[in-house]
Amino acid sequence: MLVDNAVEGDSRVQKAARSAADAGWHVTLLGCARTGAERRWHLGDAEVRVLPLDAPRVVPTDVRAPRGVVSGLRGRLVARGGLPLRAVRLARRPVEHARVRYWRVWLGDRAWRRLEPGLWDYERVAGPVLDGLRPDLIHAHDFRMLGVAARAVDRARAGGRVVKLVWDAHEWLPGARPRRDNAGWLPAHLGYVREYVDHADAVVTVSDTLAELLVRDYDLPERPTVVLNAPVVEAEPAGGAAPDLRVRCGVAAGAPLLVYSGAMAVQRGVDTVVEALPRLPGVHLALVVADPAAGYVRQVTARAVRRGVADRVHVVPYVPHRQLVAFLATADVGLIPLHHWPNHEIALITKFFEYAHARLPIVVSDVRTMADTVRATGQGEVFRARDAADLARAIRAVLADPARHRAAYEGPNSPLPTWTWEAQAERLDALYRHLLTPTPVPGGGVGWVGVGGKGWAGGEGVG
């Protein structure tokens, strides 16, 4: 498996690697991160290796610029002394957009080589290690590792080996917010995916809505396998009993406790929750975050001070993902206050399932897929995104009758049995076995046929 991060904060990747190893596959999970030296550990029987990206970058030489135009563009990007940084950025945007248009006309989807050459870092670091492992199947998580995996497949085929490629699309890239103030970021990555998506023998993704978008955008011959970001469900979390959220926050039993768990950024709407708290006397908010000292977390707590609710806002660090459901269970309401953004509209996100398995009523903004699900199941309330007054109304409705909302998790119509990682892992295992099952080919021998109808005769067998 391949992923473009340090693994530890990515529960989907951790669960996929561990469950595949539990099913009998020999799994090596390669991460790539800004770290000083390679790190190794195990997730169950899966080996994890996080490779350092900090070695000197190799500049690609397979695409050269014609003389004249590009050098002139570069010259105009030089900032004149004394201008504020924001003014410099605004001044250079027309030049950046012109540069993007130029390279896209000249190179098409291959323009990422000039617009985002940092993508080569993942190839430089992970490519040789991947070749040395000689895998039968590569599971590439998210978009950056798709090209790394595709080129490894090409090298293996050139050497007479058959390697299957599964691309796990975690998000809808056209709807993503660019990761930097960079006009070329999104078109570069879109071209990168388009260049390599045809190498995938199967595509996996996180929701039915996203599966439909991927079929449309990339003309996929088969609908992707949907593997939900559901939590692991077991009687006793690994590493012992989970800590108690209320104890961590210092909130007494009986005091209303809201919880927001996960990454924090402006578009995730936690500011709206803080703005709602003055309308909710006596109600506490727990923020379960990766880094309580992070800049945006400090901005949110400063807002709480200004609104006079700082004593009711509690910031606590993550617990291991296998303990999270039990950790959340002592809260009263799980919050998903997302702003409207394309990727927010199309998925049931990880925290949605975590809250559900903790039997928490969910209060969610009116982002399409989650709002529709909450309305259908009755497991919570929906409010207008970015509307603090309406959020307070929804929270009051849940706190007034929590049993009615928790009832959605009980009985024969409960969605929880299918909202487990164990159920999703069975889908992944079936997909791997399908891809790696030899099939007869005309003229004798065996071949391997992927779900998209692709296949190559011959090879060394599977293992």
pLDDT above 90: percentage of residues in the chain: 75
Does 454 or 422 have the greater pLDDT score?
A: 422
The helix (H) or strand (E) run that includes residue 298 is: helix 295-306
CA angle 266, 270, 272 (to 5 degrees): 100
The 3-state DSSP class for residue 463 equals coil
Report whether pLDDT(61) > 90. Answer: no
**Contact 333/259 with Cβ under 8 angstroms?**
yes
Q: Give alpha helix (H) positions in 227-294.
A: 245-249, 270-276
Q: How does DSSP classify residue 443?
A: T
**Contact 360/379 with Cβ under 8 angstroms?**
no
CA-based nearest residue to 227, from 43, 31, 418? 418
Task: Give the DSSP per-residue string, 79-111.
Answer: PPTT--HHHHHHHHHHHHHHHHHHHHHHHGGGG
Report whether pLDDT(353) > 80. Answer: yes
Report whether pLDDT(431) > 60. Answer: yes
| CA atoms of 272 and 388, how far apart (whole Å) | 5
Pick from 52-66, 158-172, 234-248 the range whose average pLDDT is largest: 158-172
Does 33 or 60 have the greater pLDDT score?
A: 33
pLDDT at 70: 38
**Contact 409/416 with Cβ under 8 angstroms?**
yes
| CA atoms of 46 and 14, how far apart (whole Å) | 9
CATH of domain 245-414: 3.40.50.2000
pLDDT at 399: 98
Entry pTM:
0.82
Number of other CB atoms surrounding residue 414 within 10 Å: 15
**Contact 103/114 with Cβ under 8 angstroms?**
yes
Report whether pLDDT(193) > 70. Answer: yes
| CA atoms of 461 and 445, how far apart (whole Å) | 11
**Contact 30/43 with Cβ under 8 angstroms?**
no
Buried b (16+ CB within 10 A) or exposed e, 362-387: bbbbbbebbbebbeebebbbbbebbb
pLDDT at 321: 80
Q: How does DSSP classify residue 439?
A: E
Report whether pLDDT(80) > 60. Answer: no
Angle, helices 119-133 vs 185-196, to 10°: value is 30
Range 279-285 average pLDDT: 98
**Contact 405/414 with Cβ under 8 angstroms?**
no
Report whether pLDDT(424) > 50. Answer: yes
pLDDT at 69: 37
pLDDT band at 179; cut points 50, 70, 90: low
pLDDT at 65: 45
Report whether pLDDT(449) > 70. Answer: no
Range 110-115 average pLDDT: 91
Average pLDDT score over the chain: 87
* Residues in a beta bridge with 456: 448
**Contact 245/327 with Cβ under 8 angstroms?**
yes
Buried b (16+ CB within 10 A) or exposed e, 31-50: bbbeeeeebeeebeebbbbb
pLDDT band at 454; cut points 50, 70, 90: very low
pLDDT above 70: percentage of residues in the chain: 84
Does 406 or 439 have the greater pLDDT score?
A: 406
Range 433-450 average pLDDT: 64
Domain coordinates of the chain in residue numbers? 2-58+117-226, 69-113, 245-414
How many helices (H) and strands (E) would you count in the chain? 18, 17
Q: Which CATH topology does 2-58+117-226 take? A: Rossmann fold (3.40.50)
Asked whether this chain's domains 2-58+117-226 and 245-414 adopt the same fold, the reply is yes
Comparing 136-145, 231-240, 345-354, 453-462, the range with the smallest average pLDDT is 453-462
Does 233 or 137 have the greater pLDDT score?
A: 137
Report whether pLDDT(386) > 90. Answer: yes
pLDDT band at 306; cut points 50, 70, 90: very high
**Contact 172/458 with Cβ under 8 angstroms?**
no
Report whether pLDDT(112) > 60. Answer: yes
**Contact 25/19 with Cβ under 8 angstroms?**
no
pLDDT at 461: 29
- How many residues are given for the chain? 463
